[in-house]
Structure formats: C-alpha cells, structure tokens
Amino acid sequence: MNNPAELVVPRVQAAIATAFGEEFRHTDPVVRPSQFADIQINAAMALAKKAGLPPRDAAAKIVDALDLDGICAGVEISGPGFINLSFDGTWIEELLNAEAAQAASPATAVTPAATPRRVVVDYSSPNVAKEMHVGHLRTTVVGDSVVKVLEALGDTVIRQNHIGDWGTPFGMLIEHWLEIGEDSPEAALLVEDPSAFYQAARAKFDASAADADGFATRARLRVVALQGGDAETFAVWQRLVAQSRRYFNAIYSMLGISLTDDHIAGESSYDAHLAQLCQELEERGLARISDGALCTFPEGFTGRDGQPLPLIIRKSDGGYGYGTTDLATIRYRVRDLEADRVLYVVGAPQNVHLRMVMATARDAGWLPDTVEAVHVQIGNVLGEDGKILKSRSGAPVKLMALLEEAVDRARAVIDASRPELSDQERAVTARQVGIGAVKYADLSTGHDTEYVFDFDRMLALTGNTGPYVQYAAARIRSILRKAGVLEQFADGGDAGGLGGVTPAPDAAETADSGPATAIAVVEPAERALALHLLEFDATLNKVRDAIEPHRLCGYLFELAQLFTSFYDQCPVLKAEESVRDSRLALCALVLRRLSGGLDLLGIETPENM
Ligand code: ARG
C-alpha cells in the first residue's frame, strides 16, 4: 500500500492520542483533498468541541504532537482549524517507485483487500426468447466490471446469470416452436431475432384465445405438462433454452463478457423448491392468504393506499411467480453457495421487489445480518427524446445491431485517420474502440442514473469517454515503441491485464523483464501524476465497497488528463538520457494503470489508434 493519505492516518491518530488521550486514538482524522496543500486533516473541529477548546488551539495541539518526519515538508493550520499537509518530495518518489515495482508484475499489481469476501453477483439475467434490451446491456456490462474488480482485490466471486427461463409463456413458445418445426427458418429467429419469435407466438396465442381446441388451449396444456415434469415437453424446453443461450453468447462474445453457460442459474433451477418454501413460510406464520393468494407482508412496505404491500408467493390459481423464485434463489445463495455478500445488478424499477424479497428472507432467517445483500440499481438507457430507448418503429432496439453500428462508426473514423494501418489492424482497433465506447459510456455514468444513448458523444475523442482513455494508452505505447523500450515495459496486453479471468501464461515473464529504472519526481506535472498514480488501489477499494465502477472511469479519465499535461510540459523522447529514462519509466507505469484499469472495466487497449 503506497497511498500517502492512508499512510498519514496512523500518525495523525497517534498525535490525537497524545494530545487528547488514548481514548481518542481511533478518531477518524477526516482526511480530505485540499486546495492549498496535498491533503487536509479536518478532525480538529470535532475534537475541539469535545475538549472545550477553540478549534485552532485543538489543531495546534495535534500539530505539536505530530511526527511527520520524512513524510511531510509543510504543515499549516488554516481557517477554523484545518491542518494542511504537503508531502515531502523524496517520500512521494519512494512511494512511486515502490508502486512501479508492484505494478510491474500481474501477481502484485493490485494489493488484495484486507478481508476477502465470498460474493455472489447476479447480473445480465436476460429472458429466454426475448431480445436482450439496452437495460440488459447495462446490467451485463456493469456486472462484468464489478466481478473483475472484486476478483482483482482477492474476493471469491460466484457469477449467477439468473435468466428468465420459466413460467406461463413457455407453453406458448414450445407449442409455437413445435408447430413451425425446430429447423424451420422461423425457428432460426430464436437465435437471430428473439423478439420476432416471441411476437409470432404471442400473435397466434391472442388470435386463438376464443377457440376451445385452438393454439391457446394447447399452449395452456403445454405449461401444465412442462410444470408437471412431462419428459418429452421438458426435452423440447431444454432445446429451446439452448437456442436462446446461443443468442446470449453471441452478444457476450461481441461484448467480451466473461459469462459462460456454467454461470447460468435460471429461474427454472429453483422450481422444485417452491412448494415446500411456501409451505414453510405459511407454517411459520410468515405468510398468509390474502384474496386467495399466499403472501408475505414484510415490514416497512406500504402501497399508495397506506396498506401493507404484499409479496405474492403463490397465486390464487396455485402458480408461483417471480417473488417465489427469488426467495428460493436468495436462500440458495446464502445457504448453499455460502455467500457473505450478494449483489443484484438489476434494473432500478425492480427495487421494491428485491427489497421485499430481502426483507422476507431476513424475517425467515435465510439472510442473516452477517450477509450483506445489495441491489445495485441500474438506471434506464434513454433515446435522444429522453424516453426509454426504442427503435424508430417503436420496437425494442436490437442490441446486436446497436453494437455493430458502434463498431462501424469507429471503423469509419479509423479508416480516415490511420489509412496506413492494415485492413486487419483497422478492423481490430475499430472493434476495440466501438465496443469500448459503448461499455465506457455505460460504466462512466453512475449506475443508478439514466443516460442518453448517443453515439457521437460516446465515440468522441475528448471528454470522459472510452476512446479518450484508450487513446492516451495507445499514445504511450507509441512513445515507448519509438524509444525502443515497449518490449521491456510490456504492460501484458489485454490477456495479461488485471481483470483477465485466466492470465496469459507468459504475462508474468513479459512484465517482469528488464531492470527497474528509478523514476524521479521533479516537475509539478510529474508530481501531480505521481500523486494520482498512488490512488489506484484506493480507487479500486472504493469501487468494491460502494459498487461504483464509475469511480474507476473517473480515475482513469483524470489519469489520462494528467498524463496529457505531463507530456505537454515535460519532453520525454527529447530529454537528456537520465531524465528520459525516468520519464519513460513514468510513462510505462501510467500505461500499466490505464490498460489495467480499462481491463477491469472489460475494455481493451488498442495497439494503434
Ligand atoms: N430476468 C429479469 C429481467 O429481465 C432480471 C432478473 C434479475 N435477477 C433476479 N434475481 N431477479 O428483468
């Protein structure tokens, strides 16, 4: 851990203990960024109140007892009692070189969290025979970045893709599939355009509603057969779900998402437990019949009318629903998967549902206080009209087409700006930039806020965008290449990056090669870059604690900006040899953090841009 602010904390606490007594040792020093120094300590004000002293006197008492030998060059009390600290340049240089040594090897690049956790992350979770819409794009992209950050920090992560693969529509879907023939062109829609497949089945269902032995009736009988365990129906259903998996996997592969079929734990997998679960809740007095349906009424949830809000767990017709499955799911995640943290990366509109499930699970003892359950709310993706993104015809936007358009647009830019690159190189870069831009736009907005899907903005080379950060990294690669040291400083590429599920076998070798060149921190632009580089681990830990990947985007954006001003102000290739070596090593460290950070966001760093 090379973070100066965090290293100062125990010293300030020791000073507080000396000045105010041992009982104050664990006081939070309230470290904040400062306009006038590197950091400020704001604890004096609260301590002054407790000790009945003027705040500036309290600050002076802390400063008197403070040992900042070797780590701070300046200490000043300002305003009502802020303690402003300026770090010693040599200390920053030492910390930065330690950081560079650590970052050079994938094994030590990130300091693991002090207490690793066992975390179930529910994300993506699309529905069988339905289009994955932009909402699912976001739960997929945000979830995949969250799992990568947690894994990099040493957590054990269990991915759960809670696909919607069960329930009444499946009778209709199976009947339709059998009728058109599993190998027919219409059936291929299941993989290519699932919404169209669903619509076709739905239309047949609606048209035959009045017909006693028509399609709708057969569809209803089919659900009964499916849920009753009829072997033949079950086999058809399995094949149908497998077709949908092909569609999901095509999207995951286009996006570079780490989910595989092994992570699928769909609604159907809990079906066998639902009856017993309802019975248990009813017997324990935690659920009761209301209007014919079995419901729980967890405390604190009321409807518009002020009446307690029910979570329906068995409908009046005896069927089970989304709430029942989610109760079985949360119990399984805690009891069988032994999670101590359960994250639901799911659309914001499902907040009440998920909180009611969690509350019921707490009441039932299935979710003990030692286990944290969080709904990571995902905000809507809007069109330019400010409404939920829809295609011109009003139909849901096809995700694959959207992604292809992003790549095409990036390709047009690359074709114009880098005609000298080979066709193959331009194709690779276009994919990395186009997909990276879409993902970054998703990740850089607070996950619970809405954002407008706007290709021009997300593909812009200026501002907090994927291409801007990717460009900074590609530029550093080109600087190192020109200096002939790219190999020596290889950042491991994407395969060996921080978020790789399986690091490339040679990642450690490439990254460890070459003796470390010491970095000198002299110019103000170098110092600013150094201080920001020392915030990397702290930033990842914030992402982990608050589940906020946008903080990593903000960090990388600032890093790219600080690099740009450093490069404007400090010549690298043209500097005299010792300065040049130091600056190249600094560039290499920035590159490692940019490409490593992007990798944790699931974004690749182009070789050329
Ligand atoms: N399939 C659901 C949807 O598309 C999301 C499932 C989220 N996970 C959960 N455990 N409820 O809206």
DSSP 475-517: HHHHHHHHTT-TTTT---TTTTSTT-SS--TTHHHHHH-SPPP
What are the tens digits of pLDDT across the range 3-18? Answer: 999 999 999 999 999 9
Cβ contacts of residue 353 below 8 Å, gap of 6+?
311, 322, 323, 326
Domain boundaries, the chain: 4-87, 89-109+462-609
> Is residue 580 very low, low, confident or very high in pLDDT (cuts 50, 70, 90)?
very high
Question: 509 versus 433: which is more confidently predicted?
Answer: 433
| For ligand 1, atom 9: residue with the closest CA | 162
Measure 316 CA to ligand 1 centroid, in angstroms: 23
Region 372-390: mean pLDDT is: 92
| Tokens linked to 396 | 């849901």
One-letter amino acid for residue 540 of the chain: L
Q: What percent of the chain has pLDDT over 70?
A: 96
User: Are 25 and 62 contacting, i.e. CB atoms less than 8 angstroms apart?
Assistant: no
Rounded Cα gap, residues 66 and 36, in angstroms: 20
421: left (phi > 0), else alpha (psi -120 to 50), else beta? beta
User: Are the CB atoms for 131 and 399 separated by under 8 Å?
Assistant: yes
Sheet containing 39-41, strands listed edge to edge, beginning at the edge strand earlier in sequence: 31-33, 39-41, 82-87, 72-78
What's the pTM value of the predicted model, to 2 decimals?
0.94
Does the beta carbon of 100 sit less than 6 angstroms from any atom of ligand 1? no
- Which run of H or of E encompasses 387? none
Q: Is the pLDDT of residue 496 over 60?
A: no
Helix (H, G, I), strand (E, B), or coil: what is residue 109?
A: coil
* Cβ pair 131, 398 in contact under 8 A: yes
Going by C-alpha positions, the residue among 263, 254, 325 that lies closest to residue 121 is 263
Pocket test for ligand 1, best of 346, 351, 354, 374 (most atoms within 8 A of CB): 346
Collect all residues with Cβ–Cβ distance below 8 Å to 102 and sequence separation of at least 6: 2, 108, 109, 111
| Cβ(140)–Cβ(435) below 8 Å | no
Encode pLDDT of 35-74 as tens digits: 999 999 999 999 999 999 999 999 999 999 999 999 999 9
512/527: higher pLDDT: 527
Cα 354 to ligand 1 centre (Å) = 10
Average of per-residue pLDDT across 203-223: 94
Residue whose entry in the numeric block shows the structure tokens 């969290």: 113
> In terms of pLDDT, which residue wins out, 509 or 497?
497
Confidence at residue 476, expressed as pLDDT on a 0 to 100 scale: 97
Please state, in angstroms and rounded to a whole number, the distance separating the CA atoms of residues 146 and 153. 11
Angle at 601 between CA 116 and CA 121, to 5 degrees: 45
Structure tokens at 83: 């303690």
pLDDT band at 508 (very low <50, low <70, confident <90, very high): very low
Above 80 in pLDDT, residue 114? yes
The answer to whether 436 and 570 have CB atoms below 8 angstroms apart is no
Q: Tell me the average pLDDT across 162-188.
A: 95
For residue 162 and ligand 1, the question of a CB distance below 6 A is answered with yes
Ligand 1 site, residue 127, Cβ cutoff 6 A: yes
pLDDT at res. 510: 46
Cβ pair 472, 562 in contact under 8 A: no
194 φ, ψ (degrees, to nearest 5): -55, -35
Q: Tens of pLDDT along 432-467? A: 999 999 999 999 999 999 999 999 999 999 999 999
* Angstrom distance (rounded) from CA 569 to CA 371: 50
Asked whether the beta carbons of 552 and 601 are under 8 A apart, the reply is yes
Domain 89-109+462-609, classified CATH 1.10.730.10, yes or no: yes
Hey, which of 136, 350, 377 would you mutate to test ligand 1's pocket, going by the most ligand atoms within 8 Å of its Cβ?
A: 350
Angle 450-455-457 (CA atoms, 0-180°, nearest 5)? 75
Pocket probe for ligand 1: among 125, 268, 332, the residue whose CB has the most ligand atoms within 8 Å is 125
Q: Is the CB of 125 under 6 A from ligand 1?
A: yes
Give the model's confidence band at 403: pLDDT under 50 very low, under 70 low, under 90 confident, else very high.
Answer: very high
The region that residue 129 occupies, defined by phi over 0 for left and psi between -120 and 50 for alpha, beta otherwise, is left
Contact 163, 127 (CB under 8 A): yes
CB atoms within 10 A of CB 318: 11
Query: 3.30.420.40, 3.40.50.300, 3.30.1360.70, 3.40.50.970: which CATH number matches 4-87?
Result: 3.30.1360.70
Quick one: pLDDT at residue 398?
86
DSSP 184: S
% of the chain residues with pLDDT over 90: 89
Cβ partners under 8 Å of residue 536, min gap 6? 99, 103, 110, 555, 593, 597
CA distance 109 to 102: 5
Q: Tell me how far the alpha carbon of residue 186 lies from the centroid of ligand 1, in angstroms.
A: 27
Q: Tell me how many degrees the CA angle 110-120-440 measures, rounded to the nearest 5.
A: 55
Going by alpha carbons, the residue nearest to atom 4 of ligand 1 is: 126
> According to the model, what pLDDT value does residue 251 have?
97
130 lines ligand 1 (CB under 6 A): no
Distance (Å, whole) CA 221 – CA 215: 10
Instruction: Take atom 8 of ligand 1 and give the residue whose Cα is closest.
Output: 162
Of 507 and 203, more confident: 203
pLDDT of 494 > 50? The answer is no
C-alpha span between 569 and 587 (Å, rounded): 14
DSSP for 449-464, written as a single string:
S-EE--HHHHT-SSSS
**Looking at the chain, how many residues does it have?**
609
Say if CB 336 and CB 325 are below 8 A apart. Answer: no
Each residue's pLDDT tens digit, 133-170: 888 999 999 999 999 999 999 999 999 999 999 999 99
Beta bridge partners of 560: none
| pLDDT of res. 488 | 85
Residue 532 beta carbon below 6 angstroms from any ligand 1 atom:
no
Instruction: Find the helix packing angle between 399-417 and 231-255, rounded to 10°.
Output: 20
In three-state form (DSSP H/G/I as H, E/B as E, the rest C), the secondary structure along 350-371 is HHHHHHHHHHHHHHHCCCCCCC
The 3-state DSSP class for residue 115 equals: coil
Q: What pLDDT, on a 0 to 100 scale, did the predictor assign at position 367?
A: 98
How high is the pLDDT of residue 408?
A: 98
For 283-314, the pLDDT digits (tens) are 999 999 999 999 999 999 999 999 999 999 99
Task: Measure CA of the first residue to CA of the last residue in the chain; give whole Å.
Answer: 33
Compute, in angstroms, the gap from residue 301 CA to the centroid of ligand 1: 21
More confident residue, 532 or 502: 532
> 308 exposed, middle or buried (CB, 10 Å; 0-12, 13-18, 19+)?
middle
Distance between Cα 360 and ligand 1 center (Å): 18
User: Where residue 517 falls among pLDDT bands split at 50, 70, 90?
Assistant: confident
